[in-house]
Amino acid sequence: MGNHEFYGLDFSDIPQYQKAAEGTGVHFLENRSVEIGGVRFLGCTLWTDFFGGMQGKNCEREVNDFRFIALSDAQDGRLRWTDVAYRHRESLAWLRKELETPFSGPTVVITHTAPSALSNPPQFAGSPISGSFYSNLDDLIEETGPVLWIHGHMHDSSDYMIGKTRVVCNPFGYEGIEVNVDWDPEAMVEV
C-alpha cells in the first residue's frame, strides 16, 4: 500500500487488509514475500526515517499523511512522524533479513517509498520535507544486490542503477490533476 491508500483509514489495520487478500490471488506484500515462477518478490510500504529524524517535525507539519491517516493505537488517534519512522525500522529490518537470506533465483523488491535520493526529482533537492519521500538505502542495495527494485511515491519517472540493481519508478501521477508526462503505460521489465 502507498500512503494515499491509508487516507481515511487506520494505520493499525494492515493485518485486516492482509487477511482480506488471502485466497483471492492477490498478494498483499506488507513485510511479506512471495515466490512466483522462480522469482522472489519482497514487498513493503517501507515508509521513511525522515533522514534519521532530522526532517520529522517539518514533515509532520507539512505533509498531508499526518492529517489524513489515523492511528487508533495512539492516545489521541493521530499519526506522528515517530510512528512512521518506527514502521520504517520494522520494514527495513525485515527487508534486510530477507535480502540476506540466500535465494537461488532473482529477487525483486517492491516498495512504495523510494530507496534512494537518486529517485528524488532535482526540483525537490534540498526540500525541507523530502525526507517523507525516500530513504537512503544505497548501501543496502549495493550489499545485497536484488536484480530489480520497483517503487512508487514519486510523481516523476526514474530508471537507474545502484550497483547491479535496476531501480524503476513509472508513476501515472494524479488523474486530472498532475499526470506524469514520462509515464509509460507499456513499460515492462524482464528479470
Domains and CATH numbers, the chain: 25-51+81-179 (3.30.750.180)
DSSP state of 43: E
pLDDT of residue 82: 94
pTM beyond 0.85: the answer is yes
pLDDT of residue 180: 83
Q: What are phi and psi of 67, to 5 degrees?
A: -105, -30
Maximum pairwise Cα distance, the chain: 47
Let me know: does 117 contact 134? Beta carbons within 8 Å.
Answer: yes
Model confidence at 50, pLDDT cuts 50, 70, 90, reads very high
Q: 72-115, pLDDT tens digit by residue?
A: 877 788 889 999 999 999 999 999 999 999 999 999 999 999 99
Neighbour count for residue 17 (Cβ, 10 Å) = 14
pLDDT of residue 162: 99
Long-range contacts of 158-167 (CB under 8 A, 24+ apart): 158/114, 158/118, 158/119, 160/118, 160/119, 162/116, 162/118, 162/138, 165/141, 167/115, 167/116, 167/118, 167/119, 167/141
Q: 9-18, pLDDT tens digit by residue?
A: 787 888 888 8
pLDDT of residue 139: 98
Share of the chain above pLDDT 90, in %: 65
pLDDT of residue 48: 94
Q: Is the dihedral of CA 65, 151, 123, 139 positive or negative?
A: positive
pLDDT of residue 17: 85
